Amino acid sequence: MTAMLSGRLALVTGSTSGIGLGIAKALGAAGARVAVHGLAAPEERTAAVEAAQAAGAPEARFFDGDLRDPAKIGALMDAVAAWGPVDILVNNAGMQKTVALADAEPGLWDAVIALNLSAAFHTMRAAMPGMKARGYGRVINVASVHGLVASKEKAPYVTSKFGLVGLSKVAALEYADAGDRESGGVTVNCICPGWVETPLIEPQIAARADAHGGDRAAGVAALLSEKQPSLRMAQPDDIGALAAFLCAKAAHNITGAAIPVDGGWTAQ
């Protein structure tokens, strides 16, 4: 049986670890060639490419580029386009820093907005006209539950993610009539994760576990108890599975959505 995304090329930013790598693996498993991206050590780059290939990607290559710099974004998009037209664009790269509004330095604000929001504008602007011309395209922007609800001490991050949801809705409307059911159309959606088990949050889990006698499960439950009713974290592969579905032809009418994967966080 032909893999669902056979012949497609996917660019996943920030895909050397965590959610991005989970998505890269899922798209590779569905048959897409995968352009892995990130700012990482050589061994991490190699490991991510090998992971995408092991998952089933017929080919995977690494591309670098600091997404806070529009010129470097342009160079990245040109380099990937030289390999092939981008059919699937996943804007996953991002950053967060917890800080009170009054204490947030202008440089932090600029960096968070540049990476979490402006980078997606630049990549979408480069990739989407070609998607429209071919009648198929998928843009998946990894926002956050914080693109739907706010939390204290996260002004730059929450602003960037609310903005990303808004940008995605505008693009979804502008490209809604591109292509057709047979070609698959062009869709733009956000995935809005709550707590996801990645290396980034391990220190927080460890701190909570220490307070519960070293019980990691109790530490996770304590960490999630204030926000996520399921008391379960998602895994990067869970997010990857959703991303892969959104790339299917059957998802041609799912566009402009901001889909929470948050264990009931935003249902409260």
- Catalytic residue numbers read 157
Closest CA relative to residue 135, chosen from 172, 85, 177, 167: 177
Written as one letter, the residue type at 54 is A
For CA atoms 231, 147, 203, 98, give the dihedral sign. negative
Cα–Cα distance between 115 and 174 in angstroms, integer?
23
Closest CA relative to residue 92, chosen from 67, 60, 110: 67
Strands (E) across 145-263 are located at 185-193, 258-261
For CA atoms 175, 177, 179, 180, give the dihedral sign. positive
Cα–Cα distance between 92 and 37 in angstroms, integer?
10
- Tokens 């001490």 found at: 153
For residue 4, count other CB atoms closer than 10 A to its CB. 17
